[in-house]
Each structure stands twice: as C-alpha cells, then as structure tokens.
Structure 1
Amino acid sequence: MQHQNEFIPVSAVEDASNERLPLGHKGQALFMNNTATGYHWGCYGTSMAIYETVIHSGYSIASVDVDTTHEGLGYPPTSASHQAMVEFAEQLQVVNSTVFRAIRDSDLLVVNGEGTLHRFHRAPRTLLSVLKLAKMMGKRVHLINHACFPSGGPEPASPDVERFYSECLRDLDRIVVRDEWSAKTYERMGIKHSVGFDCLPLYIRMYAKPVQMPSSILIGGASHWTPDIAMNLGRMLAAILGPTSVPVVFLAGGFKREPREDAVHYETLKKVIPNIQLARPTSFSDWIGWIRSAELMITGRFHHFVAAATLSTPIVTMPGNTAKTNAVAAMLGAPSPLAPTSGNAQDALRERISKPFRTSPAQVQSILEGALVNFDF
C-alpha cells in the first residue's frame, strides 16, 4: 500500500499560534505517551508541540505521561485477540481506573508514538493494546509522531510480533510516521498511513526564543551507551580534536529530570577530555541556544539530530537504540550514523568532523512541512 505524502505550508506554523479558537469546542482529547517531563529537553519540545496544537485545534485536553504508559497500565497481552483485549480492559479498570475513564470519556485520542513502538517488550505492547482497546470502545484515534520498528530495525519481526502490531494498528483513524523506513513497516502490513516528521521543529519555530550561548564543540550522549562506549568516544575525540580554542561542552539537562545516563557519560568523558565542560540548561530556550550556537555537534541522541537539522547546526551523528536516527539521516541525505565501536571509527570520525552534515534552507523548510503533517484533528 502506498503511503500518503502531504504538504502543508510552513506559514501555517505562524498562523496556528495566532488563532483564537474557543477552547474545548471540539470536545475532549486524551494525549497519550506525553514525554514532556520524562526525559531530556528534546522530548519536552516534541510533546509540547503536540499539546499546544491540540489545544489550539479546539480541544480540552487530558494527558497521560510516558512513564505511566510504559509502567502504570498493568501487564499487556501478547495476543491481540478480542478476548485478550477484554481482559486487558478489565485489568486496566483495576490497576489504573483514571486512565480507563480518560479513554472512555475522550472524543479523540492523540497518541505520541515517539520511539515506543519497537520490538515486543512491555512498553510497545501496552501502547499497542491501548490503541486497540480505544478502537474497540469506538474512539477516534490518531497515532502520530512515531517510528515503528517491530524488530528494532527495518527488517520484519517474527510472524507473531508482526501480527500483534498489525492487529492493533490497522483500524486507527490516522497514522503519521516520522520517517520513511517506518512507512515501509506499514506498507508491509497493508495499513494506510502518512509520512511526516518529528514534531520538535514546530516547537522550536513556534515557541522557542533561543538564547545566545558561547560557541562550542557540543557533545551529546545516547540512551544505550555503556561507560565503555563513552570512554572509547572520548579517547577518539581527544586524539582528533587535540588542544582547541573552542570549548568542548557536554550537553545534558531536562525539564523535570535529565536522563540518568548523562552524568555517567559526562564523568566518563572527563577522564580523557579533562577540559570538557558541562551544560545543564534549565529551559528549552537555553537548550536550543546551545545547539544553535555550536560550531559542531557530535551526538548519539535522536532529538539532538532533529534540533541540529532544524537549526542548520553542523552535526556528526551516531546510532540510536533503534533504526530511527539512521532512517531520518536517510530522509535528509545525511551520512549514516557512525557507530563509535566500529573498526575504523577513529578515522571515520575524523573525516566526519572535517566535513560535518548541515541542512540547507530547503531541507529546513521540508522538515517543518513534514512536522505539520501530524496535525489534522
């Protein structure tokens, strides 16, 4: 099945922030998998773009955060049969009656898929089960802003996993993926979908007022890095960069709490790059300011890549815990993310640093238009 390509003028970004629609006139929306308070500033910006747009579209809004989605809705089934979903609903009424009532009382579910839908552990099964349950309850469901990798990569998963994903996804009212590799998952399953982009660029454009920060070589971590990987990267950077007049800065921080691994990565890097500094921005505008002001960013975080692409900051990327960063790199024509553990990593990193990827104005325009595809409430 062919996916839909939709193009919305970027002027709609500015127009949307000026609209004065009666709040709540379209009914009650339930925003599921809200990442604003759950991780770093990129996840905050992405979810806040969705939150603000739902409100400006004329809905009142209730929200379920990502931690609740992943861990607070009971134990999800491994089968998408009708009986399995009935039992999941019965369990949900006991373990989290508030969320069950919120689904029951909603007129629209806006589900921020983000990177949750990969592999077959508890979190993706829970979110998929909520999608299926909501449709069984007659709700209108939009699954937006997400990657979908049942196997963790672009290749198919086992037949039972593919079947579970397909059964839970096929009846949704609207599906918007943020990359073309995820679109192939839906094509494989024969499910109608649209291709958009991550929502973070909209929050940067609509709401952020970036603060000018010192010029830097900005380093970011990754959720799946071990201390050994961070140490290996630090050694390579120390050898490649040598003494530099531009400060080397590690970017950490988050809205309510930063990723736990940030402090570990920073302390590990400091052992081999003694002069590395720590930036722990206390606002989204400060976070964007560091990225916009950087001479170069080197990172394994997906949303660092998205923010740098939106701001045309030169960047060298490394893989995420799924194929999501590789997929967006392919969409933008950027080099494939460089694995810091590969055999020729140091030579390859030196080459990437000498010629980092940087988006053109036309690519930034395309990114913003893609992000807008998520919103058709």
Structure 2
Amino acid sequence: MKKAVLINDTTYDYHHGCEAVVSGIKSSLLVRGVEVIASCPVGVHYKKMNNIEKAIQQSDLIVVNGEGTIHHGREKAKWLLEVSAYAKKYNTPSVLINATYQDNPAEFDKLLNDFDLVYVRESESYDYLKQRGIEAGFAPDLTMLLSQTISLPEYQSRNGIGITDSPKVQEGMWNFQMAMKHGWTFLPVLRSYRAEGEKSATEVLRHLKHLFTNIGWINKENGVSEESYLRARNRFLCYTVSEYLKKVSGLQILLASRFHSLCFAIVTETPFLATSGNSYKVEGLLRDVGLSSRICELSDFDDIADYNAYSFSDEEKIKIKEYKKSSLIKINNMFDKLVGLTG
C-alpha cells in the first residue's frame, strides 16, 4: 500500500461539502492502493505540525486540497502552494487538486510550477491559468463523486422551498429571516461532527448543545441579532451528508448561498437558484453545467412566489445529467494520473 499526506483537510470546518470532498479524496486514493496516513487541518501551516513534516518525508504522494482557498492572494493560500517546494526536497510528488484559482500575484504562479500536477474545479480557473501560461487539468468539484453512490428514485417526491445559510453572516441572517417569514426549510450546510464515523467527546457535547438550542424565542417580525442567529442556526443542522442530501432532494427548489449546497442540488437534480460567492466558483460551475441563467441576486429570493416556475426544463435536465456523467469521468481520470506519480 502506497502512502499519501493530505494538506488542507477541510473536515475541520464542520461542513457537509468539506466532508464529501475529503471523503472522496481518501476513498478515491484507497481504491487505487494509496492510503492517506496523515492530514493537515484547514487553516494550519503544515510546518507547525511535526507529524505532518515527518509523514511528508515518508510518503509517496502529497495531495493539496485547493477547495476554494486560492484566490485574491490570501496568505493561507500561499501556505498551501509552498508545500510543493518542500515536497521536492524529498523527491516526493505533489499535486494540487479541487482548486479555484483567481486574482493571485505572480509569486503564486511561480509556486504552482513546483507541483507535479495541478487540477482546478471549474473552467473559469482553467481559463485564468491558461491566460497566464500555466498548464493545468480540469476536474469538477469532488462532491460530484456522490453521483456514484446515491439512488435518485427514492428522492423523486418533492415539496416546498429550501434556503441555505451563507459563509457571509449578514447574508445568512437574511436567508434565515426569509425562511422564518415564508415558512421555508432552512438548510445550513454546517454539521456537528467533523467526519462521519469519527466522534470525539467534544463533538458529542457540541452535537447535544445544538440539539437543545431553543429557537422558540425568535421574533419572526423583528428579525434576529447576529448572536441569536448563530445560536438558532445550530438547531437546523443535519448530522450526515446523506441526511442533507435527502432534504435537498425533497425540495421543489433550493435557494443556494453556499457553493457546496449548489453542488448537492446538481447531484440530486434539484431545481435551484444561486447567488455569487467570494470568488467566481459559482459562476464557473454553472457556466460548465450550462445553467448560468440560474444565478440571481440575494434580494430575488424574497420574490419567489410560484416555485413550480423554476422547475428544470427538459433541456436543463439533460445538461445536468451530462455534466454529472462527464464529471465522474474527469475526476476518476485525475485520480488515475495522481496515483501514477507514485510509481
């Protein structure tokens, strides 16, 4: 069995999308004979973790999960890119995958050249790198791997409107108030447990705290404060990816202010409208699917009256099915190439 180290393990964000991505990385490597022996949590510099440095020296492959972090010259993004030069010291292949890459300084571009392979998750990033003379591959977000494991027939009965939280607290508060105002299903993408099948005592206590959060005092007319919203949000968490998928797939339409919630809507073929995020990842994804017309402004959510008007057309259904099919091919081809680097 070959060994790999994962940098930027985003399950530490307690997020269903991150759980699906990291689980997809580990399982896709394992089925090809490569085991992830150590991982560096999101937001932590690998040099601050002695076990990671040691594991890098002993591994056959370094996998950096780009997952939406490498844009606008962020310092923590630079940490991820610097891993490639460190890996070269030990002649260990390194790869950057599942990345959005946007508006970065030239020094970031130079760091990319030390990776053996670079893969971005939407064509906006691919085109951006191509314009800068950087060779990269394109494989969609790894949440698309869920298409291999879910069975759509059990999700065919749909009813009502769902609305997500947002990485922007003020936007999340607005969405929550819309859910309370209209009686919609509120679907934050966050979770109590970091990774399914792994429950620490701290996580169990966190889960219990969320279960007993009291939302009865929320005033639907006057809205909520930021503090009360963050407390109330916990009461609506789903505790597994499959539970979240079932709720999304049971909707007539999902109003998505989270990138990975949008991905889940595509996986379950659930009609949606989506707002832009802090990079062009939403625009890039929907351009690739061929559904750019489903991007909207946040204020448009409040104007949803007849959700049947947003059902997918036959043409849109075909585009989604084709995107899902091609995604699996591209992602699996990517992992074949990654593992090929291990010799």
Shift of the 373–214 alpha-carbon distance from structure 1 to 2, 3 Å rule, reads same
Counterpart residue identity of residue 249, structure 1: T
Distance, in Å, in 1 between the alignment partners of 2:308 and 2:165 is: 17
Aligned to 1:271: 220
Contact persistence 2:84–2:114 (CA under 8 A): no
Matches within 5 A, 1:170-249: 170-206=113-149, 215-226=159-170, 229-233=171-175, 248-249=184-185
Aligned to 2:255: 298
| Alignment counterpart, residue 264 of structure 2, candidates 294, 307, 311 | 307
Shift of the 38–221 alpha-carbon distance from structure 1 to 2, 3 Å rule, reads same
Distance, in Å, in 2 between the alignment partners of 1:249 and 1:347 is: 14
Aligned to 2:325: 365
Distance, in Å, in 2 between the alignment partners of 1:373 and 1:269 is: 49
Shift of the 209–313 alpha-carbon distance from structure 1 to 2, 3 Å rule, reads closer
Contact persistence 1:180–1:327 (CA under 8 A): yes
Map Cα deviations across residues 140-168 of structure 1 (whole Å, 9 max, x no partner): 1121111111x2xxxxx4xxx1x211111
Counterpart residue identity of residue 92, structure 2: K
Counterpart residue identity of residue 198, structure 1: D
What secondary structure is seen at the aligned counterpart in 2 of 1:114? coil
| Alignment counterpart, residue 25 of structure 2, candidates 41, 50, 68 | 50
Contact persistence 1:299–1:305 (CA under 8 A): yes
Query: Please, what TM-score do these two structures have when normalized by structure 1?
Result: 0.70
Distance, in Å, in 2 between the alignment partners of 1:52 and 1:115 is: 21
Counterpart residue identity of residue 220, structure 2: K
| Alignment counterpart, residue 191 of structure 2, candidates 229, 234, 254 | 254
Unaligned runs of 5+ in 2: 196-205, 224-231
Aligned to 2:11: 36
What secondary structure is seen at the aligned counterpart in 1 of 2:86? helix
Shift of the 28–232 alpha-carbon distance from structure 1 to 2, 3 Å rule, reads closer
Aligned to 1:76: none
Q: Percent identity?
A: 22
- Higher helix content, 1 or 2: 2
Aligned to 1:60: 35
Cα displacement (A) at 1:233: 4.5
Distance, in Å, in 2 between the alignment partners of 1:194 and 1:62 is: 25
Distance, in Å, in 1 between the alignment partners of 2:324 and 2:33 is: 28
Contact persistence 1:177–1:193 (CA under 8 A): yes
Distance, in Å, in 1 between the alignment partners of 2:136 and 2:44 is: 28
| Alignment counterpart, residue 340 of structure 1, candidates 298, 321, 325 | 298
What secondary structure is seen at the aligned counterpart in 2 of 1:271? coil
Cα displacement (A) at 1:280: 2.2
> Which has the larger displacement, 117-126 or 129-138?
129-138
Map Cα deviations across residues 99-119 of structure 1 (whole Å, 9 max, x no partner): 111111111112211111112
Unaligned runs of 5+ in 1: 1-23, 74-91, 152-156
What secondary structure is seen at the aligned counterpart in 1 of 2:37? strand
Aligned to 2:202: none
> Which has the larger displacement, 28-37 or 198-207?
198-207
Aligned to 2:199: none
Distance, in Å, in 1 between the alignment partners of 2:269 and 2:261 is: 12
| Alignment counterpart, residue 96 of structure 1, candidates 37, 44, 49 | 49
Distance, in Å, in 2 between the alignment partners of 1:371 and 1:273 is: 47
Map Cα deviations across residues 217-253 of structure 1 (whole Å, 9 max, x no partner): 1110111241xx34545666788xx5xxxx6211134
Shift of the 110–305 alpha-carbon distance from structure 1 to 2, 3 Å rule, reads same
> Which has the larger displacement, 361-370 or 291-300?
361-370
Cα displacement (A) at 1:202: 1.0
Distance, in Å, in 1 between the alignment partners of 2:150 and 2:308 is: 31
Cα displacement (A) at 1:34: 1.8
Map Cα deviations across residues 327-372 of structure 1 (whole Å, 9 max, x no partner): 101111212632326xxx4687669883255543333323333333
Name the count of aligned residue pairs. Answer: 304
Aligned to 2:229: none
What secondary structure is seen at the aligned counterpart in 1 of 2:63? strand
Aligned to 1:133: 86
Distance, in Å, in 2 between the alignment partners of 1:184 and 1:214 is: 37
Distance, in Å, in 2 between the alignment partners of 1:30 and 1:55 is: 12
Distance, in Å, in 2 between the alignment partners of 1:167 and 1:72 is: 19
Contact persistence 2:45–2:79 (CA under 8 A): no
What secondary structure is seen at the aligned counterpart in 2 of 1:47? helix
| Alignment counterpart, residue 64 of structure 2, candidates 108, 111, 121 | 111
Aligned-residue RMSD, C-alpha: 3.5
